[in-house]
Amino acid sequence: MHRFKKRSCPSAPLAFTSAVTVVLGFLIFAGAARAKPDSDEARYLSPREMVLSPDGVWLYVMCEGSDEVRVVDTRTGRVLKAIGVGHVPRGIVLSPDGKQIFVANSWDDTVSVIDTSSFKVVRTLTTGFEPNGVVVDRENKTLYVANRLSNDISVIDLASGQETKRLAAGRGASYLLLSPDGTRLYCTHVYPKIGAHRTPPESEITVIDTQRQVVIDRKPLHNVAGVFHLAASSDGELTVAAQLRPKNLVPLAHVEHGWAFGDSLAIFGDDVNGVVQVPIDELARYFAMPYAVAITPDKKKLYVSSSGSEVITVIDIPKLLSYVKSANAPIANDLSASANYVVTRIPVGRNPKGLLLSRDGTRLFVANRLDDNISVIDTSNDVVVSSIDLGGKKDMTSLRRGERVFYSARFAFQGQFSCANCHIDSTFDGLQWDLEPDGFGKDIVDNRSIEDLSGTEPFKWNGGNPNMATECGPRTEKYFYRSQSYNSAELADLVTYVMALPYRPNRYRLPGGELTPAQERGKAIFERTDNKFGKAIPESNRCAYCHSGPKYTNQKLFDVGTGKKTDRSPLIDVPQLPNVAYSGPYLHDGSARSLEEIWTIFNPNDKHGFTNDLTKDELNDLIEYLRTL
């Protein structure tokens, strides 16, 4: 989700229309309730996560697009309040006593604390870089926040409001789950570790002892990149995480053979032996981007939202466990396996994200992020019985339509994946891909960030796509989706959306925008024209020559000595540098695992900038400056 401009948040209760029917204390909607204030029409809400008050009356819906929490009365289906929070909220949790809501504001590096009696933000806490998941312990004393860009977990003492420590998580730490007994905290990650070049992706589930507040274990997830929400059974013996298994070491030409992504679950706990990965796809149909998971209190059913496929997958847990126990070999890649435990697929809205079960397990709420509504599912028969319209802008703009195209897998062969598979939350995936049908291991490309792209054309590492329409249109159709892909209107909308993706806040700049002494020294190195021996550096060997202009690219091709024998050409498109700090690994094929390695390993002949006269201190300064861009 992305912000395109700062918005104000309404505080007045919103009025709604629509007839409602109440069944079992929950609202079953015949039609949609609508929020009507004029200010509400100006923005899309993009609901992403939800929590429910202990008495089941209030549904708190965190809206990523409007920077607010909308409060829904489940008895009437009306949105009573919109509580403004920070920028791009991504995580929400209710305190054990139900008196407070904590919302992680990913672009502000804060947590908003909402008083549920007044529906007001009463406190703001500071976190690490890009907070995402948030969990409070059972004693209501400690808040844990997963920080996606600093790859760690903030431990915040709620009495003082101070962060007491940061625990090292994995790359892209994003989602948290407290075990039912409160003794363990699990953290998943949307990006894989940066490992050796061209090796299978590896992720982990970080395990924290909540008594000692230290990391005690890291459950390895082999061949896994993005991992999302977790859920645990009430007896604590089964924990499930939604995950993506990318097959990035083989050419993407093998989409028709199912070699792009595996949508799957990682399950662990006393019910199984170790960590077991199980697919949710079928042999000829995929359920892209599994995101949230929910387990019914009786431990009979498991629900999975497929955010790219507009369905909720329903899994029979006893059948799943029975099948896993009887399997003689790993089943993660056996797409016939799902027939043994998937009982149905429930169609819902666009880009379904967060799932929430009522306490008695009779209702499942689904946040349809790109429809601005909530699907309510009756879990007795797994049918959508109503939809809660949260309000928000109703007119479809090209931007919103493009966002829907971006997040939908319906354009790809067998619905295997969408743009968002590789550009998680419209960023990147930390992987290197073999995209074209030119043989195994040729023209390997690192996935680049796609924020703030205007003025960075051409696209692709070899500069082969002169504009985004080519990149997203025929190129995608031919090399990625293996299908007819988009019509011209859809392509235009998609291009509009992608080109409008904004620049995320840079965390390395001082609040006033000035540079630290180290960054100033680095800037001088970046802009220098003479080497340390007093000789002029050839123009093409100066950092600021190729990396010039507002996006730090002169939009040309150069041979900087990093081409491989397996590349068709040594000429590389000069990449833009905004927020380069976050998008490792580096170089066109991702062979440099850190910014340092670009120059300590891959620049022996000074072709990628004249740098071999620099001391280690000076190289560190240069990197400190690059991180501010």
Q: Measuring CA to CA, which residue among 56, 53, 37 is closest to residue 45?
A: 37
> Which residue number, 6 or 212, has a Cβ lying nearer to other proteins?
212
Kindly report the backbone phi and psi dihedral angles of residue 26, in degrees, each rounded to the nearest multiple of 5, phi listed first.
Answer: -115, 155
Q: Does 430 bind other proteins (CB under 8 A)?
A: no
- Residues 6 or more apart from 21 whose CB is under 8 A from it? 27, 28, 29, 30, 386
- Name the pairing type of β-strands 373-378 and 363-368: antiparallel
Contact positions with other proteins (CB under 8 A) in 95-154: 128, 150, 152
378 touches other proteins (CB under 8 A): no
Choice between 216 and 339, CB closer to other proteins: 216
User: What is the helix (H) or strand (E) element at residue 360, kind and residue range?
Assistant: none
Q: Which stretch, 207-215, 441-449, 456-464, 536-544, contacts other proteins (CB under 8 A)?
A: 207-215
Q: Smallest distance from the beta carbon of 593 to other proteins, in angstroms?
A: 6
As a whole number of angstroms, the distance between CA 127 and CA 108 comes to 9
3-state secondary structure of 188: strand
- Site map (CB under 8 A) of other proteins, residues 156-185, x = contact: --------xxxxx-----------------
Token pair 């329903």 is found at 314
Q: Which is nearer to other proteins, 280 or 587 (CB)?
A: 587
Which segment (238-246, 280-288, 316-324, 620-628) binds other proteins by CB under 8 A?
620-628
Q: Which of 197, 218, 319, 509 binds other proteins (CB under 8 A)?
A: 218
Instruction: Tell me the site size for other proteins, rule CB under 8 A.
Output: 33
Phi first, then psi: give them for residue 515, nearest 5 degrees.
Answer: -100, 150
Nearer to other proteins, 112 or 203 (CB): 203
One of 12, 24, 42, 216 touching other proteins (CB under 8 A): 216
Instruction: Find the binding residues for other proteins in span 452-511 (CB under 8 A).
Output: 507-508
Of these, 39, 76, 470, 620, which contacts other proteins (CB under 8 A)?
Answer: 620
Q: Which of 217, 520, 527, 559 binds other proteins (CB under 8 A)?
A: 217
Interface region with other proteins, contact rule CB under 8 A, candidates 208-216, 248-256, 404-412, 604-612: 208-216
CA atoms within 13 A on the CB side of 146: 31
193, 172 Cβ separation under 8 angstroms: no
Q: Which two tokens stand for residue 63?
A: 């809206």
Identify the H or E element spanning 166.
Answer: strand 162-168
Torsion over CA of 276, 327, 249 and 229, rounded to 10 degrees? -30
Nearest approach in angstroms of CB 128 to other proteins is 7
Nearer to other proteins, 95 or 206 (CB): 206
Told to check if 207 binds other proteins by CB under 8 A, we report yes
Select from 371, 386, 628 the least CA-distant residue to 512: 628
Estimate the share of the chain in helix, then strand, then coil, as percent rounded to the nearest 5.
Answer: 15, 35, 50
206 lies in the binding site for other proteins (CB under 8 A):
yes
Kindly indicate which of the ranges 102-110, 216-224, 261-269, 335-343 contains the residues binding other proteins, using the contact rule CB under 8 A: 216-224
Residues between 558 and 617 with contacts to other proteins, criterion CB under 8 A: 593-594, 596-597, 600-601, 615-617
Buried b (16+ CB within 10 A) or exposed e, 163-187: beebbebbbbbbbbbbbeeeebbbb
Q: Minimum distance between the CB of residue 259 and other proteins, rounded to whole angstroms?
A: 29
Length of the chain: 629
Minimum Å gap between C-beta 272 and other proteins is 20
Q: Are 355 and 303 in contact (CB under 8 A)?
A: yes
Least distance to other proteins, CB of residue 185, Å = 12
From the CB of 614, what's the least distance to other proteins, in Å? 12
Under the binding rule (CB under 8 A), the answer on residue 212 touching other proteins is yes
Buried (b) or exposed (e) across 103-112, using 16+ Cβ within 10 A?
bbbbbbbbbb
Burial-class residue 146 by CB neighbours within 10 Å (0-12, 13-18, 19+): buried
Residue (316 or 596) nearer to other proteins, CB: 596
**Which lies closer to other proteins via its Cβ, residue 129 or residue 286?**
129
Nearest approach in angstroms of CB 215 to other proteins is: 3
Taking CB under 8 A as the binding criterion, the range among 38-46, 205-213, 362-370, 547-555 that sits at the site for other proteins is: 205-213
Residue (205 or 366) nearer to other proteins, CB: 205
- Given the complex with other proteins, which of 195 and 538 has the nearer CB atom? 195
- Minimum Å distance from CB 29 to other proteins? 46
Decide: 79 and 16 in contact? Cβ < 8 Å: yes
Extract the tokens encoding 311. 């369905």
Interface with other proteins in residues 506-535 (CB under 8 A): 507-508, 518
Question: Does residue 254 touch other proteins according to CB under 8 A?
Answer: no
Position 153: which residue type? I
Contact yes or no for 343/380 (Cβ under 8 A): no
With CB under 8 A as the contact rule, the residue among 372, 443, 446, 624 that binds other proteins is: 624
Q: Which of 164, 123, 115 is nearest to 143 (CA)?
A: 164
Q: For residues 594 and 474, give the distance between their C-alpha atoms in angstroms, rounded to a whole number.
A: 33
Q: Return the number of the residue (300 or 509) whose C-beta is nearest other proteins.
A: 509
- Compute the distance between CA of residue 219 and CA of residue 276 in angstroms, rounded to an integer: 11
| Residues that bind other proteins in the complex, under the rule CB under 8 A | 128, 150, 152, 164-168, 204, 206-207, 212, 214-218, 507-508, 518, 593-594, 596-597, 600-601, 615-617, 619-620, 623-624
